[in-house]
Amino acid sequence: MSTEAKSVNADDTDDTGDNGSAGSVGSAITQPPTTPCTVVWCQGHPFVLESGPGKSRWVGIGPHGKPQALTGADLQRRGWSYRRVS
């Protein structure tokens, strides 16, 4: 069993500031992650993946400061990143 951790070098990032695996503007659109408690950024706001009985949902605070729940499809359509993009 290996205990090596994968690291991302500055040279591995594109000009959007992420490692190219997220569905942000300027990179290929990919599916959001499916691991519970994963944090991603969407339109300048953090969202956390909640899972439980039924469908998983991305929960965060929307632009007006109110709680907002998104599906994976909503998150993909709006664009997302592992890192906050200003």
Q: What is the pLDDT of residues 17-74, one digit of tens each?
A: 444 444 544 445 588 999 999 999 999 999 999 988 888 999 999 889 999 999 999 9
Residues 6 or more apart whose CB falls under 8 angstroms from that of 22 comprise 30, 40, 80, 81, 82, 83
Residue 7 domain flag: no
Residue 82, domain member (yes or no): yes
Q: Is 34 within a domain?
A: yes
Whether residue 15 lies inside any domain: the answer is: no
Q: Is residue 74 part of a domain?
A: yes
pLDDT of residue 24: 46
Say if 9 falls within a structural domain: no
Cβ neighbours around 3 below 10 Å, total? 4
3-state secondary structure of 3: coil
Taking the C-alpha atoms of residue 57 and residue 42, their distance in angstroms, rounded to an integer, is 14
Q: Is residue 77 part of a domain?
A: yes
Domain count, the chain: 1
pTM > 0.85: yes or no? no
Query: Could you tell me the residue range of the domain that residue 66 belongs to?
Result: 27-86
Looking at 1-86, list the stretches that DSSP marks H as alpha helix, in order from N- to C-terminal side. 72-78
